[in-house]
Amino acid sequence: MARGKTALSPDLPFPPTLPQAGNRSKRDCIANTIRNAISTGLLSAQGRLPSSRTLADRWHVSRGTVEAAFDRLCSEGYITRTPGSGTRVSAAVPDSFLPSLTADLHKPNDRLAADVLDRGMLLTSAEAPVQAGIPFIARLAAPDLLRASHWHKHAAEAAKDSGTIDADFMPTRGLYPLRQQVAAYLGVFRGLLCRPEDIFITSGIRHAIDAVARVLLEPSSKVAIEDPGYPGASQIFELAGADMVDIAVDEYGMKVADLEKHPDISLVYTTPAHQSPLGVTMSVDRRESLLKWSHQNQGWIIEDDYDGEFSFQSAPLPALKSQDQHQRVIYCSSFNKTVAANLRVGFMVVPPALQNRMLALSEMIGSPVSGTTQLALAAFMASGDFSSHLRRCRQAYQQRRDVLIRELERHASGKYNVTGGHAGFHFILWLKPGTDEQDIVNQAATVGIALQSLGSLCRRASFGPAFIMGYSALSLSQARFSGRKLGLILGASS
- Per-residue pLDDT of 74-101, as tens digits, reads 766 778 887 777 888 875 544 443 433 3
pLDDT at residue 217 above 80?
Answer: yes
- Which residue, 384, 415, 433, sits at the end of a domain? 384
**Out of 168-182, 216-230, 298-312, 327-341, least confident range:** 168-182
Residues 182 and 329 reside in one and the same domain: yes
Rounded mean pLDDT of 366-377? 89
Rounded mean pLDDT of 374-381? 96
Residues 376 and 237 reside in one and the same domain: yes
Residues 226 and 349 reside in one and the same domain: yes
Alpha-carbon distance 226 to 248, whole Å?
Answer: 6
Domain assignment of residue 290, yes or no: yes
Residues 205 and 344 reside in one and the same domain: yes
- Tell me the residue range of the domain where 425 lies: 389-492
Which of the two residues, 28 and 239, has the higher pLDDT score? 239
pLDDT at residue 108 above 80?
Answer: no
**Out of 307-321, 362-376, 429-443, least confident range:** 307-321
CB-side neighbour CA atoms (13 Å) of 451: 28
CATH number for position 62: 1.10.10.10
Which of the two residues, 260 and 124, has the higher pLDDT score? 260
Domain assignment of residue 136, yes or no: no
pLDDT at residue 63 above 80?
Answer: yes
Residues 365 and 413 reside in one and the same domain: no
Domain assignment of residue 8, yes or no: no
User: What confidence tens digit (pLDDT) does each residue in 189-209 have?
Assistant: 888 999 999 999 999 999 999
Residues 340 and 460 reside in one and the same domain: no
Residues 255 and 307 reside in one and the same domain: yes
**How big is the chain by its Cα radius of gyration, in Å?**
24
Rounded mean pLDDT of 365-390? 92
Task: Provide the number of structural domains found in the chain.
Answer: 3
Which of the two residues, 260 and 109, has the higher pLDDT score? 260
Rounded mean pLDDT of 244-263? 97
**Out of 95-109, 382-396, 402-416, least confident range:** 95-109
Q: What is the pLDDT of residue 64?
A: 85
Given a contact cutoff of 8 angstroms between Cβ atoms, the answer to whether 266 and 222 are in contact is: yes
Residues 375 and 414 reside in one and the same domain: no
Domain assignment of residue 96, yes or no: no
Across the chain, what does the average pLDDT equal?
Answer: 85
CATH number for position 296: 3.40.640.10
Q: How far is CA 255 from CA 205, 385, 454, in A?
A: 23, 39, 19
Cα dihedral: 468, 470, 476, 482 (round 10): -50
Residues 186 and 278 reside in one and the same domain: yes
Q: What is the pLDDT of residue 123?
A: 25
- Which residue, 384, 403, 436, sits at the end of a domain? 384
Q: What is the pLDDT of residue 56?
A: 87
CATH number for position 460: 3.90.1150.10
**Out of 100-114, 138-152, 252-266, 324-338, least confident range:** 100-114
Q: What is the pLDDT of residue 14?
A: 76
Q: Is-above-0.95 flag for pTM? A: no
pLDDT-based confidence at residue 4 (cuts at 50, 70, 90): very low
Domain assignment of residue 207, yes or no: yes
pLDDT-based confidence at residue 319 (cuts at 50, 70, 90): very high
Given a contact cutoff of 8 angstroms between Cβ atoms, the answer to whether 227 and 269 are in contact is: no
Rounded mean pLDDT of 133-142? 92
pLDDT at residue 344 above 50?
Answer: yes
Q: What is the pLDDT of residue 24?
A: 56
Given a contact cutoff of 8 angstroms between Cβ atoms, the answer to whether 144 and 392 are in contact is: no
**Nearest in space to 398 (alpha carbons), one of 430, 368, 422:** 422
Q: What is the pLDDT of residue 57?
A: 84
Q: What is the pLDDT of residue 115?
A: 29
Residues 459 and 378 reside in one and the same domain: no
Q: What is the pLDDT of residue 2?
A: 41
Given a contact cutoff of 8 angstroms between Cβ atoms, the answer to whether 199 and 354 are in contact is: no
User: What confidence tens digit (pLDDT) does each residue in 444-458 have?
Assistant: 999 999 999 999 999
pLDDT at residue 163 above 60?
Answer: yes
Residues 199 and 335 reside in one and the same domain: yes
pLDDT-based confidence at residue 120 (cuts at 50, 70, 90): very low
Q: What is the pLDDT of residue 109?
A: 33
Residues 379 and 396 reside in one and the same domain: no
Alpha-carbon distance 295 to 245, whole Å?
Answer: 19
Q: What is the pLDDT of residue 20?
A: 64
- Which residue, 350, 384, 418, sits at the end of a domain? 384
Domain assignment of residue 137, yes or no: no
Determine if residue 87 is left, alpha or beta; phi over 0 gives left, psi from -120 to 50 gives alpha, anything else beta: beta
Rounded mean pLDDT of 459-476? 95
Domain assignment of residue 305, yes or no: yes
Alpha-carbon distance 33 to 311, whole Å?
Answer: 25
Domain assignment of residue 112, yes or no: no
**Nearest in space to 278 (alpha carbons), one of 267, 270, 286:** 270
Rounded mean pLDDT of 19-25? 63
pLDDT-based confidence at residue 365 (cuts at 50, 70, 90): confident
